[in-house]
Structure formats: C-alpha cells, structure tokens
Structure 1
C-alpha cells in the first residue's frame, strides 16, 4: 500500500511517517514545502503524480488561541485545505484519513463523548476543524475521520515538554485542575492509524489513549516519570488552580474525554492507557535528549 502523508514534518506527521514505514508501506511524506494544501491545483498535481492508495491528512492549523483572531487563516487551512486534499483523494480513488479534534464538542457534557453525539464547537479552531470534517465527508467517498486529544510526542512543542522545562525553572507552577481529557501519545495514535487504513471500516473514530485525567494530574505524572526515567531535578512546587485563573483567548473545554465506541464495535484494538504512553515517551526521550533539552 502506498501512503501519502500531509504535514509530514509536524508533531504527529513525523511519527506517522516512521510507523507507516516500519509497517512496510511505501510512504510519501509531504511537508508544507512539498505540498501547500491551500493550493487546489498543487494538491491535485502532487496527489495525481504519486497516486497513493491512502492519504493521511495530518497538516492543520493548530494554534488554538491565534485562531480566534485569525479566522480566515484557520478556515483556509482546516476547511479549504482539507477540501482540496479530499477532492484530490477522490480523483485517484484513495482512502482519506482526516485528523480531527475533541474541540468539535462544547466540553460541557458530564460523560465522555460518543462519535455520534451532536457537535457544538465553541472556538474558531473547533469550528474550522469541524468544517474540515464536513469537507471530508462531502468530497471523498472512502473516509475515516479520527478525533484525538491532548497530543504529545517527541517532535515539536507540546504540554509535556513545556512542563518539563517549567518544572526545572520555576519555584511554583500552577496547573489547571478543572479540565479533564485523555493525553494521547503520537506513536500510539500512529499505530492505530496503520491498523485502521488496512480496513474498509469507514466512519468517525475517537482515538485517544485510554483513561483520563486533569491537566494538573497529568503534570503530576509527568514529573514523577521525569524523575524516575530521566533523572531530572524537578524543583517546582505544583499547585492546582482553576480555568478562571488562567483566561485564554479561546475557551477551553472542561470535559474533553471521548468514548471509543467505534473502535470497539468495529473490532479494532484500543490505544494503551495514557500513563503507559507517557512512560514509553519518557524512555524514548531518554534515548534522544537533544529533542527536549
């Protein structure tokens, strides 16, 4: 199987390229320099040239706060860019995997979100990503929409790396304790995508690591594992705080936990627990300290 991956230099994209290659697929990794998804003609040209069996669409506008004042930019990439990729995929008969987000929900539910719950995005980012879901469904016949949350990995910036840096620099660190979600290790998500694309089980999937926690609880475990696996000296005193104490341009969901109903009913394998993913992430960081120090 030949796989074309957009956003191949991004945090998720780099691991998707690596895991797909390890699985024996022929991989075409397209960075922003290789493929500007907002250029319809270029999308069609690149996809037609390579004629992949599947496109994993990782390229996205992910700056949640910046999107609030850059509406055109967010929709250009997440909606129009996705339309261009979807139309190109359809032209060559390729399967399309669109990576979406928990931000398509309003975050106010008292229980985990099912794939078939009504969406109600509260931010420009969430609305633009949902628009991408609509473009995927409207312009491509063979599609998977994969919603994920709280992503962390070796490549690029993320919450884990930020907390490791602040934990060594700050005497006191306040972390929000009233937002709940499921941290997701990019390697585990990439492995799930590899399993998914070999099927014809199209539809919407929620794919995050199993289990849930608050950002504060996540940070506690980050510090515990960093001391144990990396031998880091964490000097910061950790203190829980509320969302109201840290106002941001984009509203944060209080509940980002997603139920993995589609994974179970389609007979696919659940992603490991987030604590297990974090532990393996730390071990990988230990092997490549230049990526976080």
Structure 2
C-alpha cells in the first residue's frame, strides 16, 4: 500500500503519519517538496511514486488573512485539490480530501448533514467549498471529509494558544456565542484510514462528540491543564459576544456537524475530551 500525503507538516499531516499502518509506504510532502498548485509537478510526483492513495491534508487555513490573500487561498484550496484529483484519476488511485464546517453559514439550529445546503460567509469557506466542487467534477469517487475546530499536540491551534495565554494572563475574554464540536486531528487521521479501507466515496462529516462554545471549550482546556498541574494558576474566563471580538472574516455562529453517515460505517466520532487530556499531557512533557 503506497500513500502520497500532502500537508505533511500540519496538524493532520503529522497525526496521519503517526497512525498510518506499518505496512503502508508513505511519501510525506509539504509545500516545499510538492507545490500542489502546479499540475505538472503534481503529475510528475504521482507518476513517479504511483500511490494507491492520495491524502490531501494541505490547505490555506488562515481564515482572516484569506479575506485579503484571496488568490493564494483559492490556489491552495481550489486549484490544488483539483490538480491532485486529476492526477489520482489518471492512475485510478484513491483520493481523500479534507474540508471544513465553514462551508455552512451557521444559521441552522440542528447539526448539519452532508445533504444540507452550503452557504459560506467567508473567503476561506468559499474557497474550501469551491475546492470540493472542483474535485467532485473531476473525480466523483473521491472521499471528502468535512471537519471542525481541529486541535492536536502539533502546529498552531486553539488549545495551544489558550495554554500559552493562561500562563501569561490573569483573565481571558473568549467568544461564547459560537458553537461547534472540537475535533482531535489524530481521530480525523484514523477516520481517513478507516473510510478508505471501506471503499467509501462522497462527502462525510466527522467531528467531536459533544457541542460547546469557544468559552466552554476554554473552560475545559484550563480545567484539564490545572488538573495535570501544567499551569500555575487558573485565569478567570469571561464569555463575550462575537460583536465584542471583531475579525476580518465572519465565522459561523453554529457549525456542529451531524456524523450519522460516517457512524453508519462503524467509525465513531471524536471523543474530544479524552483526546484533549492526552494532548495536553503530551504538551506538558
């Protein structure tokens, strides 16, 4: 089994490499070793390695910067997946692409299903949706996994930011009117492997098993770090509204994903509280 992985140095890429079966041969690439926006380079890499599976964990994820760096976001989030899909189709390889809850506008009061209408409210969300559509046109057999609020022991993420701020400040103001499900990147990686092995195709939602606000998530991060004695004090956590914390890009106020479809394949949603404990423990070492 031969796997070509993009975005190898990101949260998901690192976690995927940790979990890939020992009998799978993996070529892990980043933006320096493979420019996914260059089709000729993608084609040559795929022809040379001839993978059975391509996993695209590369993405432009700077949500606020995307409002300005629109063309760069589009190149990475649309042209890149399309190029990889074309290359996968040429050799009939499996293809898994990772997308986001930001394809929705957050106006729902119920968890979003794969069949619900999309309506992104940011450039980032719009480019991720356009990327989904482009690769589906090229290679309908591909797997698309939409996920949300990703954290891990790797890279930059909300958990690591909160831990840093907790050591620096006496109080934190955290948005309390945006709700979603934290998701451990290691669990996403495992879901990718399981879905591919089940010969799946199409769009699947995968996220954490319990919905919270950013403030509630912060409460749990701080409580876990305190229990593990990794912070010297517990800062006061104050809930604020989105209006009190303006950003360049709009965020969905509600982005919980319904995971019934992927659950029907025997793949459990992410037990994020347990993963959070393990993740913070690793970060404290």
Scaled to the shorter chain, the TM-score interval is over 0.9
**Structural mapping, 1:149-188, within 5 Å:** 149-188=148-187
**Structural mapping, 1:225-244, within 5 Å:** 225-244=224-243
Q: 1:21-49 CA deviation, whole Å, 9 max, x = no partner? A: x4531111111111000111000000111
- The alignment covers a number of residue pairs equal to 285
* 1:202 corresponding residue in structure 2: 201
* 1:213 corresponding residue in structure 2: 212
Q: Are 2:7 and 2:57, in contact at CA under 8 Å, matched by a contact in 1?
A: yes
> Structure 1 CA distance, aligned partners of 2:215 and 2:22?
36
> Structure 2 CA distance, aligned partners of 1:149 and 1:41?
32
* CA 203–23 in structure 1, closer or farther in 2 if over 3 Å, else same: farther
1:262 is aligned to 2:261? yes
Match for residue 277 of structure 2 among 272, 276, 279: 279
Q: Are 2:149 and 2:180, in contact at CA under 8 Å, matched by a contact in 1?
A: yes
* 2:147 corresponding residue in structure 1: 148
Q: How large is the RMSD of aligned CA atoms in angstroms? A: 1.2
1:116 is aligned to 2:115? yes
For the residue of structure 1 that corresponds to 2:210, the secondary structure is coil
> Structure 2 CA distance, aligned partners of 1:141 and 1:114?
19
> Structure 2 CA distance, aligned partners of 1:153 and 1:276?
12
Q: Are 2:173 and 2:239, in contact at CA under 8 Å, matched by a contact in 1?
A: yes
For the residue of structure 2 that corresponds to 1:64, the secondary structure is coil
> Structure 2 CA distance, aligned partners of 1:222 and 1:235?
10
* 1:16 corresponding residue in structure 2: 16
> Structure 1 CA distance, aligned partners of 2:22 and 2:201?
21
Cα distance, 1:179 vs structure 2 = 0.4
Cα distance, 1:230 vs structure 2 = 4.3
Q: Which runs of 4+ in 1 moved over 2 A?
A: 283-286
Give the TM-score normalised by the residue count of structure 1.
Answer: 0.94
Q: 1:166-206 CA deviation, whole Å, 9 max, x = no partner? A: 11111221101100010011111111111111121211110
Q: Which runs of 5+ in 2 are unaligned?
A: none
> Structure 2 CA distance, aligned partners of 1:211 and 1:23?
31
> Structure 2 CA distance, aligned partners of 1:144 and 1:179?
28
After the TM superposition, which of the residue ranges 48-57 and 275-284 deviates more from structure 2?
Answer: 275-284
1:33 is aligned to 2:32? yes
Q: Which runs of 5+ in 1 are unaligned?
A: none
